[in-house]
Structures are given as C-alpha cells and as structure tokens.
Amino acid sequence: MPDNAVPVLELRGVGKTFGGARALTDVDFTLAAGEVHAVVGLNGAGKSTLVETMCGALVPDGGTVHIDGRHTALTPRRAHAAGVRIVHQRRSLVPGLTIAENLLLGRLPTRFGVVDWRRAHRTAADALADLGIEIATDRTAAGLAPAERTLVEIAREAHLGGRVLVLDEPTASLGAADAARVHRLVRALRSRGTGVVYISHDLDEILGLADRITVLRDGRRIVTVAAADVDLPALVRAMVGDRLTHEADTRDPRPDPTRTHDAQDSDVGGSGGRARMAGEPVLELRGLSAGRLRGFDLKVHSGEITAVLGPIGDGQSELFPLLSGLRRAGAGQIRVDGRDVPSGDVGAALAAGLRCVTGDRLAHGLVPGLTVDENLDLVRRGLRRPWLVRWRRMRERGRAARDRYGVTAVHANPPVAALSGGNQQKTLLAAWLGTDMTACLLEEPTGGVDVAAKADIHRIVGGLAASGAAVLLASGDVDEVVGLADRVVVVRAGRTVADRPIDQVTRDELVALTAGGRAT
C-alpha cells in the first residue's frame, strides 16, 4: 500500500478478551482499496476474532477501527452500511430461490406493485457478467455446484455495495480447477478497487494470490509482509514459531489415539507410518453405482490406507452417503469382512463396524451447540442406545478422548461451535473412531484445518492403519494422498482411471490423471 494512501479499513491496537483469555492482543491491520490482504495462522491464532471485529460482530476491548480514515464504532449494521461484508465458509444462499432472487434478496425491482422478473434477471445477469461469472440466473441455489455457490455469494456481496469483502476459506472444499475460478473472481474484484481480506489455510494459494500477508500467532500480529518478499518455509516459521519443533519432541511419545478400535474404554498406543503390511480384504465395493459413480470396484485390506482421489464433486464424493447408508446404491455390493451390508441402511452399516466420517463437520457431523463431551457421547449412545445419560462417566470418557486426540480449547469442555476448525475436526474423529469398528471412510479429513492440526490428523489416521483397521480416504488433495496412503485409486467422471500402490506413481502423474491425463 502506498505510504500516502488512506486505508479503506484499518485496525489499530485491537485487543479482545473472552473470559479472561486473550484472543487478540494489540493487533494492527490495514487494507487498501484494490488490495488482497491475506490473514494466516494456525487454528486458534485469532483469525476469526479479528474478522468478527472487522465486521462489527465483536466490540474490541481496546484499540480502534477506522473506515476511510475515520474512527468508527462498528456494529454489524454500520459495517454493512460502510460496505464491509463477509462471505462465511458456510454458504448462506437460500436453496429454494433462484440466483436472481438470491442476488437481489430484499431489493427485487417492482413495477406497479409486483416484481418485475425480467428486470430482476437482467440486473442479476449484468452483475454476474461484470465479474466474469457465467451462470444462468433462473437456476436455483440448491442445484449449484460448490464453486458456483461460492462465486454467486461473493458476487452478491459485491453487487450489494461491498467495498471490503472478507472471504473466509472460499476454496476450502474446492478442487484446483474450481479454486482457480474463485481466484479469477478475486482478481477481478481487486481490479475494480475492492479491498479483499482473504482467509485460507492453503499457503501456496495465499502466496499466489495475495498482495500482502499478515501472520497471527497466539492472538498477536507476528508480521505483515508483501507476498512477493516471503516464501513458504518462512511463512510456516512465522505461523508456528517453535511449536512444530516442540511437538516433535513431546507428542511422538504420547500414546496414539487409535491403537484399539474402542479407544474410549481401553489403553491406547501404537504409531502411524508407511512401514505397514496389509492383511486380508476387509472392505470391498463391487460394481457400485450411484450418482456420478459408475461400476466402481475397490478392496481395502486390514492395516491399509487406500485413497480415492478425484476432483471435488466427482465420484469420490458419492462414497460417504453410500457407505454410511444414507443413500441406496443403484447397483453393486458393499461387503465388510466378507459379509454383505444392505445398501441404504444406516443401522446395518454401523452394525457391520463401518464408520463414516463426513467432510462437512458442522452440517452433518457435529451438533455445534452441544459441548465436546456431549457430542462424543451422542455417537456412543446412538450405537448402544442406553436409556440413561451417565453424566460423570460421560465427562470421564470425554476428558480422556480430548487428551488422546489433542482437542484443545480455552475452556475444558466448550460448545463445539467455539472450537477452531482443527479442534472441531479432531472432535469428530474422536467421536466416530473411538468406537468398535472394522473399517472406516474418512471424507476430506483435513479440510479447512491448519498445518499443525493436519499433522495431528495424519498421525491419527496412520495410527488407525497401524492398529489393523481398513482405512478408506476420499480426498481431492494430491499431496495428502501421496503423504498418507498406501494405495491410490483415481476416479474421474465417476470411473476409475488408475489403481496403483502409492510408491509406483508420482505426484505429477496423479495431478495429470485427476485433471484429465491418461494412465501410463
């Protein structure tokens, strides 16, 4: 930002305390018009608190917020009026309304007291075209792909007068091609003079998109630097300090949470790693067809991590509803330990020892308003159906599970909604993987978590395989698959295009296969 430019948004010495715990301490932040300013940090670093302060949802204990150089006591209404708008990680389009209705919600044009639909669709189409977005305005939001929902929501906030757009993990659940569409939109906003605050755990994305980067650690601003002046290793060092070194010294000896399949009631131990010998086939899919998946065959052996890799929204996205019993397959078989599991039957899948962990932890995996211990107990009670809640026993099990899975928070047992993304994900894993199981499906297990939480989750998954479980990983992250899996199956347009041991394929080959190249 030029030295003489007045920031469109500025925070000076902002601090915030929750129940005696400091979430932000003396944080400075500036955003210029026509700038993409990224905020990065581990989960719990203070990013969410900073964003909520920018948008008026939180009142800081200390410091000031300035809009166009003027000190402003922000409220959500005042922030909205000033053009400060946020696109949350969880999208807020109304599913049953059209794109035009969502874009112009509350501002639909009327003529003689009735909605002028022709004008509404023309206005919406012009707003999308102005940002290079080609989506028919008569489509309903429920029928949009994830990337399209993101594009429409960003376009809506820009159309409604957003001069400062805060984008919270806009590409967290998108594949590379869809993420590139969002990046093009962000660059279009920048060229129009919109200031963009960009939140992401993908550091390569940040380095390629942002103009400046602010690193938060433990609620403090560590550094603000031009993206062109920093590389990935330096950015990671700023984010973690000596934390990764400390964890390497102290966490490895800690018992692994997944040596046994019923970790809630037993001692645990073991470790992950690639030195594994696969046993007998445990999970078998034969000719499975549903949605985009066509005639899909797969075997996962005990002690093995098999990854199904493909673009987000492609065939691997069908595995969770199919294996969990939420959806009936059009054709094919699911077998666990040599026994058929009826399709479309949640109870049968659970009884067979098949545990499926969703990639959407808040919408389908956890109850945000309940505590960590209550979420853990819900799964256990759902499996065993006891009549009474034994609160003391629930708290004891919850405390042990939180310790084993590394779930940390300011308070000992907070509502899940108050946790960082990484701790929410570890709570979800603890709930489902801490029960008797034979095989598990993990859908995008590290989506929207920071580098330290990702390392913890990878250790947990490695420990599952080391304990003898059959682990099926559904992922769109090539690097995660290469670093974690023993075997990889690549799907594209719902069909298998490659099935290989991980040591017989390179990362570049996997990228090419996923993007449309040929198996060699």
Residue 298 sits in the same domain as residue 229: no
Q: Which residues contact 276 (CB under 8 A, 6 or more apart)?
A: 303, 304, 465, 466, 486
- Is the distance from CB of 24 to CB of 50 less than 8 angstroms? yes
pLDDT, position 274: 45
CA pair distance 76, 252, nearest whole angstrom: 44
Residue 81 sits in the same domain as residue 196: yes
Does residue 309 belong to any structural domain of this protein? Answer: yes
Q: Are strands 195-199 and 36-40 parallel, antiparallel or unpaired?
A: parallel
Residue 286 sits in the same domain as residue 346: yes
Does residue 360 belong to any structural domain of this protein? Answer: yes
* Half-sphere exposure of residue 283: CA atoms within 13 angstroms, side-chain side: 29
361: containing domain: 281-367+436-514
Residue 296 sits in the same domain as residue 350: yes
Residue 201 sits in the same domain as residue 322: no
List helix spans (H) across 328-450: 346-351, 372-384, 391-405, 421-433
Does residue 375 belong to any structural domain of this protein? Answer: no
Residue 232 sits in the same domain as residue 306: no
CA pair distance 66, 53, nearest whole angstrom: 11
pLDDT, position 202: 80
Does residue 372 belong to any structural domain of this protein? Answer: no
Residue pLDDT, tens place only, 390-426:
667 777 777 877 888 888 765 667 788 888 888 889 9
Does residue 443 belong to any structural domain of this protein? Answer: yes
Residue 287 sits in the same domain as residue 363: yes
Q: In degrees, to the nearest 5, what angle opens at C-alpha 447 toward C-alphas 443 and 453? A: 110
Does residue 87 belong to any structural domain of this protein? Answer: yes
Does residue 59 belong to any structural domain of this protein? Answer: yes
Cα first-last separation, the chain: 48
Residue 169 sits in the same domain as residue 293: no
pLDDT, position 245: 38
Residue 229 sits in the same domain as residue 343: no
Q: In degrees, to the nearest 5, what angle opens at C-alpha 447 toward C-alphas 492 and 377? A: 120
Does residue 130 belong to any structural domain of this protein? Answer: no
Is the model's pTM score more than 0.75?
A: no
pLDDT-flagged residues of the chain (< 50): 243-276, 517-520
pLDDT, position 385: 53
pLDDT, position 39: 95
Residues in the chain: 520
pLDDT, position 388: 58
Strand 195-199: give its sheet, edge to edge: 84-87, 164-168, 195-199, 36-40, 212-217, 220-226
pLDDT, position 233: 86
- Dihedral sign for Cα 500, 506, 510, 516, please: negative
Q: How many domains does the chain have?
A: 2
**Residue 235, domain CATH:** 3.40.50.300
Residue 333 sits in the same domain as residue 465: yes
Any idea what DSSP says for residue 5?
P
CA pair distance 50, 213, nearest whole angstrom: 14
